Amino acid sequence: TVGEKWWKNSIIYQIYPASFKDSNGDGIGDIKGIISSLDYISSLGVDVIWLCPMYDSPQIDMGYDVSDYENVYPPYGTVQDMEVLIEACHQRGLRIILDLVVNHTSDQHKWFQESRSSKTDPKRDWYIWKPAKYDASGKRQPPNNWRSVFGGSAWEWDEKTEEYYLHLFCVEQPDVNWENAETRKAIYESAMEFWLRKGVDGFRVDTVNMYSKHPDYANAPILDPKSDTQPAFSLFCNGPRIHEYLSEMNEVLSKYDAMTVGELPNTHTLEGVLRYVSAAEKQLSMVFQFDLVDLGMGKDYKFLTTFPGWNLRDLKAAVKSTQDVIKGTDAWTTVFMENHDQGRSVTRFGSDKTPELRVRSAKMLSMMQSTLSGTQFIYQGQEIGMVNAPKEWTIDEYKDIDSLNYYHMTSQVTNKDPVELEKAMASLQHLARDHSRLPMQWNADVNGGFSSSSDKPWMRPHDNYPDLNVKLQEEDDSSVLAFWKQMNQLRKQYADLMVFGEFEIFDEANQSVFTFSKKSKNQTLVVVLNFSDTEQAFERPDTGKTDWKLLVGNVEDPQEANAKPSNIKRGGRLQQTEF
Ligand code: NOJ
Ligand code: CA
């Protein structure tokens, strides 16, 4: 639509540098590998790349523990390589955004090294230090019962200066003290402007609602009586000063007309979301809501029970919550089903039981994503329908700190109970962050073409790469890849409907089929998605129109499928009509 911001109608392709393309055979992806893949990325019909953290880091949390914002992790390359990448993107008409990780730094960052050096250091107040508490028996206790997102206490005792510091994520990720204005200024300069001056077009903003903690650091309510730590999201998300901080940050960003997409966990009301993304609030361009990717995760992943699954009604409600953000508001929203913290969408929301179902559900999910309003995000490998790691793989193949903490804690708490450990493994098989971090599958060569290394790359390539890879799919018009390219192109062609149209669900209660419409001023698009493994009767919703035209389908012969509207298989079809 004319006059809209460029990022609204953009398709953004997310790259996880360690797992995308290794240019020098050391088993780790790198920036030169990304540069060599830009033709491929352009061929997808995307507009922007989002690069996950490539900053210098001890990699305890895969770069979300930054030790130097102004340098690049040496195995990935150099600042100069980044300059080449930025330039090469712009030459092709691609934009590039980076990950902004400023709720915490690495404990190896020089700011924290100084801060922990003594209680009187000028940077002491740049992090969140608190004295110990003592229980009745005189035993030292942390300042409160908050649990870190990765498990265990959110406080770490520091022997040298005899205080605790806060880390909402792992011990090596101390939280920065945003209350300190000097610290905030240093963040804007080092983490943002350093890269904005080099021409980056914006940021994905990590854990954007956690900078302002509830100032009294009260204990969280006891939800898990068996544990001495408690989930405390309500006390560290959306705190009292968060919007003040984001306004200030926005002033810096607007000097460069940079876009932002904030990661917004634990925010479930429309009102709460709008505070971040209403244009009038001048905070962020858009956010990622978690309702959809959290389906089936709930408490269970962290509380040692089995993976509970999910149902289609809840999925529809989750989709609706993102679409409602723009209904009659001045706000903007996002569409995504995968990222580097999630299992693969085909495994979670479709089916990878057979190759046929895998391909159909990958296309169906592509159809769903591509027809929803908001800025579209595709995670590397999603465009070829990559799936979760094989079930036979043991915990030894998992590398993520969150997965390993969870598994080891289960082991500890249950005294290595094999039944509980098996349940933990079942949860990891669905939800572990590792699945999306398996190497990109380029071709059938060694390591799926990701790396020429004769040793195992940093993560084991999926066993299915000989049959599921970019090269095979580029040669096949009916591939998942070809389908995504087609959807990306249709999304541009029918932007009024797909990107900006008004969303309505027709079959809220149906647990097998998801039917929704998108309306523009004079057109209606109807999307029918069969989430089950079997054929389903399809009732065409009454939109007052009769002259339907099939736009795209994921069954082999869409014309035939159109002729028999009562028998749709997994994947459904998409139709649109004109007045
Ligand atoms: C969200 C990131 O996506 C995740 O990978 C990371 O572990 C946490 N934030 C902490 O930075
Ligand atoms: Ca490399």
**418-430 pLDDT tens trace:** 998 998 898 899 8
User: Is the Cβ atom of 55 under 6 angstroms away from ligand 1?
Assistant: no
pLDDT > 70: what percent of the chain?
94
Secondary structure of 203-233 in the HEC alphabet? EEECCCCCCCCCCCCCCCCCCCCCCCCECCH
Q: How far is the CA of 81 from the centre of ligand 2 (A)?
A: 13
**345 Cβ contact partners less than 8 Å away, ≥ 6 residues apart:** 337, 338, 365, 382
Q: Name which of 7-21, 249-263, 336-350, 520-534 the model is least confident about.
A: 520-534
Please give the pLDDT value at position 560.
Answer: 53
Q: How confident is the model at residue 303 (pLDDT cuts 50, 70, 90)?
A: very low
Tell me what ipTM this predicted complex has.
0.99
Nearest CA to ligand 1 atom 10: 64
Q: Name which of 107-121, 278-292, 404-418 the model is least confident about.
A: 404-418
The H or E element that residue 503 is part of is strand 502-505
Q: Does 305 score more than 60 pLDDT?
A: no
Q: Please, what is the average pLDDT of the chain?
A: 93
Q: Does 575 score more than 80 pLDDT?
A: no
Nearest CA to ligand 1 atom 5: 341
Average pLDDT over residues 442-461: 97
> Residue 128 and residue 177: Cα distance in Å, rounded?
5
Q: Active-site residue among 22, 175, 263, 352? A: 263
Q: What is the pLDDT of residues 154-180, one digit of tens each?
A: 999 999 999 999 999 999 999 999 999
206 is catalytic: yes
User: Is the Cβ atom of 64 under 6 angstroms away from ligand 1?
Assistant: yes
Please give the pLDDT value at position 559.
Answer: 57
Nearest CA to ligand 1 atom 8: 64
Closest ligand to the CA of 27: 2
Q: Phi and psi of 243, rounded to 5°? A: -75, -30
Please give the pLDDT value at position 300.
Answer: 41
Average pLDDT over residues 80-95: 98
* Strand pairing report for 11-15 and 48-51: parallel
User: Is the Cβ atom of 175 under 6 angstroms away from ligand 1?
Assistant: no
User: Is the Cβ atom of 403 under 6 angstroms away from ligand 1?
Assistant: no
Closest ligand to the CA of 53: 1
Q: How confident is the model at residue 544 (pLDDT cuts 50, 70, 90)?
A: confident
Q: Name the 3-class secondary structure at 236.
A: helix
Q: What is the pLDDT of residues 346-394, one digit of tens each?
A: 999 999 999 999 999 999 999 999 999 999 999 999 999 999 999 999 9
User: Is the Cβ atom of 207 under 6 angstroms away from ligand 1?
Assistant: yes
CA atoms within 13 A on the CB side of 214: 13
Residue keyed to tokens 């209904």: 327
Q: In a mutational test of the pocket of ligand 1, which residue from 207, 237, 294 has the highest number of ligand atoms less than 8 Å from its CB?
A: 207
Contact 17, 30 (CB under 8 A): yes
Please give the pLDDT value at position 304.
Answer: 44
Please give the pLDDT value at position 535.
Answer: 83
Sequence letter at residue 6: W
Closest ligand to the CA of 104: 1
User: Is the Cβ atom of 99 under 6 angstroms away from ligand 1?
Assistant: no
Sequence letter at residue 454: S
User: Is the Cβ atom of 22 under 6 angstroms away from ligand 1?
Assistant: no
pTM: 0.96
CB atoms within 10 A of CB 227: 16
Q: How confident is the model at residue 539 (pLDDT cuts 50, 70, 90)?
A: confident
CB atoms within 10 A of CB 376: 25
Closest-lying ligand 1 atom to the alpha carbon of residue 64 = 11
Q: Does 126 score more than 50 pLDDT?
A: yes
Contact 398, 421 (CB under 8 A): no
Q: How confident is the model at residue 132 (pLDDT cuts 50, 70, 90)?
A: very high
